[in-house]
Amino acid sequence: MIFAEQLAQACPQGIDVYYENVGGKVFDAVLPLLNTAARVPVCGLVSGYNATGLPDGPDRLPLLMATILKKRIRMQGFIIGQDYGHRIAEFQQQMGRWVQEGKIKYREQLIDGLDQAPQALIGLLKGENFGKGGDPRRGGRLAWRASTEQAPFSAREKGPGIGVRRRRLTAGRADRQRLRGPHPASGVVLGRLPVRW
């Protein structure tokens, strides 16, 4: 079964909110499933980051525009730092509280040694990692950083397709060293939780 068929089967009532971070074939599969008045926050288009030209095939812009018009879909781009940068301190305080209360759980996958970098990269491309891949030049470690397992507004509590299933946070080595003590806004000891954007 191809992805578009699997998605249609998983969303028999359509899609009300789609967090766009991929584009390409994933968006092509989502578009016909969007319900009337669906919302699409656009945060990234990773499938096209390395593109050097337009994709092959027919122009799909007329289909997109017709779908937006007929179904009254709202699409809006946003970049966290530009749109919500003024709320970083608030985020750090709330996130610190959620970590302390056990509402946010995170994990790291560390691969020691630069000689493990090729296999770690292959694993990253196969989706075998947790979170983001770290830079092996920083202390000789590759680190897959901080995927939350559950948030206070978890998808499991609200039903399929709603809420946050996975959120990624990253920090460099210097940031992790700095974050070992109490957080200045919340007083929570975050240990190695990467919270700096």
Domains and CATH numbers, the chain: 3-77 (3.40.50.720), 86-178 (no CATH)
One digit per residue, pLDDT tens: the chain, 197 residues?
799 999 999 999 999 999 999 999 999 999 999 999 999 999 998 888 888 888 888 898 999 999 999 999 999 998 888 888 899 999 999 999 998 998 988 776 777 777 777 887 787 777 776 655 554 445 444 444 433 333 333 333 333 333 333 333 344 444 444 444 444 444 444 444 443 33
Half-sphere exposure (Cβ direction) of 116: Cα atoms closer than 13 Å: 16
d(CA 129, CA 122): 10
Q: pTM score, two decimals?
A: 0.54
b (16+ CB within 10 A) / e for 53-83: eeeeeeeeeeeeeeebeeeebeeeeeeeeee
* 125: CB partners within 8 A, 6+ apart: none
pLDDT of residue 173: 47
